[in-house]
Each structure stands twice: as C-alpha cells, then as structure tokens.
Structure 1
Amino acid sequence: MADVSTEVDMGETPLQLDLGLLASFDYNPLNVKKYKKDREALLQERARNATQHLVNAIFQLPITRNPSYGPLATLPPFTSLLPREKPLPKPKPLTKWEKFARKKGITKKRKDRMVYDEERKEWVPRWGYQGANKSLENQWLVEVPTGAEDEFRPDKEAAKKRKEARKKNEMQHQRNLARAEGATAAAAPAAPSKKAGALGSGIAARAARRAELEADVLRAKSSTASLGRFDRTLEGEAKPRGVKRTFRPNEIDPHAERASNLALLSKIDKDGANLNVRKAIKHASNAQGSKAMVQRSEKERAQKRRK
C-alpha cells in the first residue's frame, strides 16, 4: 500500500480552523481552468487538503489514552458564531399586576410549595391534593361564627370561597392573555382589511379567543367514548349544534317512494362503475340501514298478502 502524504497546500490564503466544531475553512478562490476541465477532481483535492489540515491540527492537541476507546483528543471551545434556526423570542408583555408592582417597587416573593402542618406534624403541599388550603374543609369539627344562620356550613363556605378564588384567577389569566394579544396586534403592522373592527381590537380579540376556547372544549368532549353525550356540562357552556336524525314512517305514499327511488337512480352514474353501494343504501333507507329496508319490504309484502 502506497504511503499517504500528510502535507497540506496552504495556498494564497491560509486555511482557517475551528477545532471546537471540527471545521476547516478554505477561502482560496477556485482555479477556473481546473474547474472547467475536471470539476469533481478539483473539489476532491480541495476537500482532502482541508480535511488533512484539520487532522494534523487535531493530533497536535493534548491526547489521553483510554483503555476502551484508545487515544482521545481534548477539543478547545469553538469560536465560530453559529446561526440561529429561529428568530429571537419577543419580550413577554407585562401583566396588569406586574406593571403595578414595577411602578410601586414591589418585589415578588416566591412561596414554597410545601408548608408544615402543626396538627399533622408533617409537610403538606400548599395547594392540590391534601393541600393546606383545604384544611378547613377536611376538619370534622369546626367552630361556627356568632350570628351565623342555622344552615351555615363552614366547610362548604370554605370550599365555595376556594372555587371562587380559582375562577377569579382563571378570569384574570384570560384577561392577561387577551391584553397581551391586543398589545402584540397593535405593535404588529396592520394588515389591510375591508371589514371594520379587525382582529386587532380588544373586543374582536376576546371574541376570537372565546371561539377558540369553545372549539377546544367541543373537540375535547368529542374525543370520549360517548362523543361527549354523557359528559358533565360546564357553567356557561353553549349547547353544541348538530344535525338531528330524522326517521321516515314505515308506511308512506307509494308515489313519494317512487319519486325517491327515481331520484336515487338519477344520481347513479350511467355505466354503474362509480356506484357507492353504502351511500346508496343510506340514501334509500334515509340513514336507517339495509336491515331497516329489508324489514320495511317484508312488512309491505305482508300487508299486501292480507289485502
């Protein structure tokens, strides 16, 4: 086997390396005559030259011996600037509370997730399952305040206040989202629109957000086994509109039945090659199926025999 040369032709412009990225850059211009004569040979020569220069530089780095993998070179940190795949994220708009806190100089103090329960002598979560915010609801004996009504239940009152606070937080969260969308739409260049009150306005943005939420709720409910038929209805949820199934009576006018069959035949292609049997049965039986057609025909025959 012939010896492979490790010499490198540096050219007019020295080759540049970034050992951290294992990259070699050759900025020398191409030879036009060699490129036109044999382009592949020229490119292979330039690629071999740059790769050999990179390999020579790697063997000059500090090398350690590994019993499993052999010699390993320690690469320095890379110096080249890599381009971003996506643009820089835009700064998130401040919420109403964050603006007020920044104006008043209020600093946010992060609360610990776990709190110590003196009665149970253990650490419990602040919110969620068996959280400290439900301590009043889970007690078996609660003191009733003076002047309370006879039907007053402290546990139910605490649960009611907790649910109201959760709804209030969710409402404020939706308002912050709508306010942020309105600020983003106002900062973006307005697209030409013929309709008055485009999506950039606050009312239109809230309406669009509400429509999106309703569509998400309907999509989630239809993903269940019963297609949302037995799911619990949320507060303020609109009843979904759908196509109601209508069933034709068993005994109909023969002229109407004849007209329906003729209408079905008119929709069938003349050559009959593109006939959809399932669709034809569904149309003829008015979405009742082939079994209903057979039962209806047998019933009609029995009635004719009786006559």
Structure 2
Amino acid sequence: MDVVAEAIEKAAKNSDKFKSTQVEKLIELEYDLGTLLASDTNELSKKELRSDKENYLKSLARDNTQLLFNKIWELPTETVEDAVVVQLPTPKYILPREKPIPKPKPLTKWQKFATEKGLKKTKKAKLTWDDVLKKWVPLYGYKKATAQRDKDWVLEVPQNADPFVDRFADKSTLKKEKVAKNEFQRLRNIAVAKKIKIPRVGVLPAAKPGTDQLKTAASVARVSTASIGKFQPRLPREKTSVSAEKALPGVKKRKLPHLRPADEKKSNINILDSILNKRPKLDVEKAVNKHIFREQQEESAERKKTQGKGKKRSTFGNKKGKGAGKRPGAKPSGGKGKRTQTGGRKRR
C-alpha cells in the first residue's frame, strides 16, 4: 500500500508541472491551418507586461500554440509507416513577399525569330527506327551512344589518308569540338540576353592570369619595340618562354635537336608518305595553252622547211662573199668598213 501511495503522490506532483490542454479565451482565435497560423485578437494585460514580461509572453505563446494543435488534431488523420499524419487544408492567408516580383526573362535570338516567323515548337519522338541495326534507337542518352558504336564498328579509310591514324579518335575529337562550339554559342546567347558586353573575337581576359599567360605577356612586351626586341636588355632572372618566342616575329628559329636514327627514319618516312599521298593538281587552262603553243611551234617549223625548198634569190652583180646581193654605194652595215663603189652625185 505504501508503494501505491507513493506512486499516486508522484503522479499528482507531475500533474502539477504540466498544464491542461483545454485553454479558454475571451475571443476565439482566427486559424489558417494551411499555413499553421493562429491570430490572437485578445487585448494584452498591461499590468502583467510591466511586472513579469517574459513569463507572461511565454504563457501566452504556450496557450495559443495549444489551441492551434487542438485544431490540427481535429482534422482527419492517417497512419503512414507507424506515424500519424494529418492532411492540412489549402492555405487562406496570403504571405507577403520578401523580395520584389522577378522581371520576365528577355527572349533569346531563337525565341525572337520564332515569334516573328510564327514558329511553334513541336514535340519530337524520343525513338527513331534504325534500318542498319533493325531496332528502335533513342535520339539522345547513353543508349544512343552505344547504338552509334554498334553501328559504326568499322570506319572507311580514304584513299590518300594515312592508314595508321586512329579514325575513331578523330571522330570523337570532332564531336568534342562541336559540343564546345555549341556551348560557346549558348553562353554568348546568355550574355546577349543579359546585355553583357563581350568581344566579337577572342577570349575575355582572366581575373587572375596564370604563369604561362604572364610569361607570354612579358615576352610580347619585350619584343614590342622598333627593333623587335633585338637591343632590349633582359631582366635579371628572366626566363625565356620557348612556346611564346616561336609565335613572335623576328625571333630566330631554334635548331631541331639531334634525333636518334630510329626517330630520324620515322620522320623521313612521314614526310615521304605526305608527299606520295598528295594528288597532283591539274590546271586545265594551263595545259590547253601549252598544247596550243606546241602545235603553233610545230606549224611554224614546217612552214620554214617548205619555204627553204623553193628558188634562191639572185645576188646583185653575181658577186660572192660579204658584199654579195647589195647595191653599189650602200653604207656598210654596223658602221664598219669603207665604201668600195660610189654612185651618183655627191652632196655638199
């Protein structure tokens, strides 16, 4: 009996600590259970606020919270995974915005063009029929890539191409370049939409340039003189950037390092292959003109031969030697020699 009495006494003491769930208010609270809001319009006690402000506000907040939870548990409940869940109604109270309403996004180039031309976006099918693989292939995703690999399991090598070049690697590189180009165009459209000034050609300068960029800038500044940096003194501990100096004008070309016999043989074979694989470019107009010129030369040579077979010209006075065939008293050719015969009257 003593144990029961102690338990009852202990329960009575504990009950004094906890307040009742029933709270009475002069004016009933306004509830918005969708947003878990309870508005208390009752007048505050100025006397209790002045005497014990903290405890008064705590008790007031506790009572209002108890009333809100009493209203919540009046709603229909259900058990989900050993937990009691209440479905809240739609909220009625309109919460004020912290920030202003965002402005509508400006249209991109394509959206402007589509609105002007009246183009509408049509929903494309996600699968397409492949005649080679004889199955439905998705337009994008990892299954598309695997289907493309199954389809292009072998690639044709062109006639004049190097057979030892990896065509699959070239194809993947070309695809990466296309993806990078599309990404660059997408970023440019975003910059245009946000009215950000960007250069038409080139890349924007980096906020923190790297070591290679600083070396390149130093080498460019060194050769940006009238003598292209020939008489420009070097700074102490200045290191030359080989890659930057190669691209600059007026810099002497570096000699190739001495290669091993195997490397030299390989480079010579590559040069020979590049020469042999080149197709000769045929200039049709030049070839036709050359053929016409050759025919004209042959015709002129034949004409000279036929003219040489006719009668020979008779010489004047049947003379032989240097002066044969010339009229008497003629001036010697080239101002050489003397007149042997004179004819007619002398002029004074």
Interval of TM-score (by shorter of Structure 1 and Structure 2)? 0.3 to 0.5
Higher Rg: 2
- Give the TM-score of the pair, scaled to structure 1: 0.47
